[in-house]
Amino acid sequence: MYDLIIKGGTVIDPAEGINGVNDVAIENGKIARVAADILSDESKRVIEVKGKIVTPGLIDLHTHVFDGVNGNGVKADLGGVRAGVTTMVDAGSSGCDTFGGIINHIIPNNATEVLPFLHICRTGLATTPDIFSAASIDLDKTIAVAEANRGVIRGIKARMVSPALEIMGIEMPKMAKRAAKEAGIKLMVHIGDTEHRYDPKVIHELLPILEEGDIVTHLFTANEGGVIGSDGKLVPEAKEAKERGVWLDTAHGRGNFSFDIGARILDQGLIPHCISTDLTVPGRQNTVHSMTEMMTRFLALGFTMEQVVEMCTINPAKSLGEEARLGSLGVGKQADVSVLDIKDGDWVVYDVLGVSRKVEKAVVPVMAVKRGEVFEAGWGPRTWGWEPDQA
């Protein structure tokens, strides 16, 4: 007897090569079966989702959920299971001096699974700016905290922003890479300086530092230090990094996503692996409304729904080394499922510069299932819910 059948939806699971009407059966917190017309009387509970899209649980690779410590931290479940997202990566909200708050208060008090990165700055993002002197980094303690929390901390985070680079230069990300290597984890690097103060050519020095498995986030930033040079061309180190096995994430955020830059990058043959929000409280109120709206933005850029789902499920799972457990609806995988609605209409979405794109389909969250537990989507961050603006 199954615990739950999610019945009648269109299942899109790129990892398993599934795109069609199917039922998803769950038992003991695991995916038990994906097939057409599983008998309802074989399950204790049946949820009808005819006309909806059913995907592996969405994974948001870049968020900030250190709620109550960082002023910008979103409560994880607000942007997680109540927004159709089952797993969120906290991208360095805490550092070695503050990580105890993540492991003791954030991870155990949310239904959404939170996978944290550790900021190279001792206090993470609890201070603004994060790094304001060389003393902001304690390399030995960072490595010690990462090693003491193996299996919890997924990587080290470095932000290529002012004033850190003015104070420490390229030595700062090199220190972060050293910490990651010594702790046996990956490095995630934020590119794009919203202060526009450091040398944009630093990208040429940064990208060669990154190794297979490391992550570049904010790929579509229009700020100084991105992968598009002043000549409008893609820096050669960007393609070289991807060929080397570096993961490319687009993380929208309040100031690091441009449709124009994204189109230039795509036109020059560099396709990102992952979509993420860089969710914060002010971002959610203004530009980063939800993971599903990020998906809608990529539909507006010309991606198919199947491509978009791949960038939100199996690709981030692989980038985290979690593909054996997350990212697909394969039998035996953790029962993480997202149910989405695709609403036809004349929609318009915006980047952080206010540039708009029209799109005829909007992705809206309906429900999340996390380890077999059902969570209905809450009311969206806009006064009218989850949908984007009308054109």
Q: What is the pLDDT of residues 28-48, one digit of tens each?
A: 999 999 999 999 999 999 999
Give the integer Cα–Cα distance in Å for 221 and 57.
Answer: 27
At CA 95, angle to CA 219 and CA 84, rounded to 5?
A: 55
> Is pLDDT above 80 for 186?
yes
Specify which residues 248 forms β-bridges with.
216
Average of per-residue pLDDT values in the chain? 96
pLDDT-derived band of residue 286, with 50, 70 and 90 as boundaries? confident
Taking alpha carbons only, the member of 331, 325, 312, 368 closest to residue 26 is 331
What is the predicted pLDDT for the residue at 284? Answer: 85
What is the predicted pLDDT for the residue at 38? Answer: 98
Mean pLDDT throughout 4-21? 98
Mean pLDDT throughout 178-199? 92
What is the predicted pLDDT for the residue at 196? Answer: 75
In the chain, what percentage of residues exceed pLDDT 70? 100
Tokens of 308: 């978009």
pLDDT-derived band of residue 273, with 50, 70 and 90 as boundaries? very high
What is the predicted pLDDT for the residue at 267? Answer: 98
In the chain, what percentage of residues exceed pLDDT 90? 91
3-class SS shares of the chain: helix, strand, coil, % to 5: 30, 30, 40
Contact criterion met (CB below 8 Å) for 309 and 12: yes
- Write the CA distances from 26 to 19, 43, 329, integer angstroms: 19, 9, 10
Give the integer Cα–Cα distance in Å for 137 and 23.
Answer: 50
Taking alpha carbons only, the member of 336, 381, 255 closest to residue 58 is 336
With residue 298 as reference, give the H or E element that holds it: helix 291-300
Tens of pLDDT along 103-151? 999 999 999 999 999 999 999 999 888 999 999 999 999 999 999 999 9
Distance of CA 238 to the CA centre of its chain: 20
> Is pLDDT above 90 for 200?
no
Contact criterion met (CB below 8 Å) for 59 and 313: yes
State the sign of the Cα–Cα–Cα–Cα dihedral 202, 207, 208, 210. Answer: positive
Specify which residues 6 forms β-bridges with.
24, 47
What is the predicted pLDDT for the residue at 95? Answer: 98
What is the predicted pLDDT for the residue at 349? Answer: 96
> Is pLDDT above 90 for 69?
no
Q: Give the largest CA-CA distance in the chain.
A: 65
Residue pointed to by tokens 């198919």: 304
Contact criterion met (CB below 8 Å) for 217 and 319: no
**What φ, ψ does residue 386 adopt, rounded to 5°?**
-100, -20
Q: What is the pTM of this model?
A: 0.97
If you compute the radius of gyration of the chain from its CA atoms, what whole number of angstroms results? Answer: 20
Give the integer Cα–Cα distance in Å for 313 and 381.
Answer: 23
Tens of pLDDT along 347-373? 999 999 999 999 999 999 999 999 999
**What φ, ψ does residue 104 adopt, rounded to 5°?**
-95, -25
Taking alpha carbons only, the member of 128, 214, 223 closest to residue 178 is 214
Q: Say whether the peptide bond before residue 129 is cis (omega within 30 degrees of 0).
A: yes
What is the predicted pLDDT for the residue at 272? Answer: 98
Taking alpha carbons only, the member of 281, 276, 287, 263 closest to residue 389 is 287
What is the predicted pLDDT for the residue at 281? Answer: 83
Q: Bigger pLDDT: 248 or 73? A: 248
Tens of pLDDT along 302-334? 999 999 999 999 999 999 999 999 999 999 999
What is the predicted pLDDT for the residue at 309? Answer: 98
Q: Bigger pLDDT: 391 or 260? A: 260
What is the predicted pLDDT for the residue at 192? Answer: 93
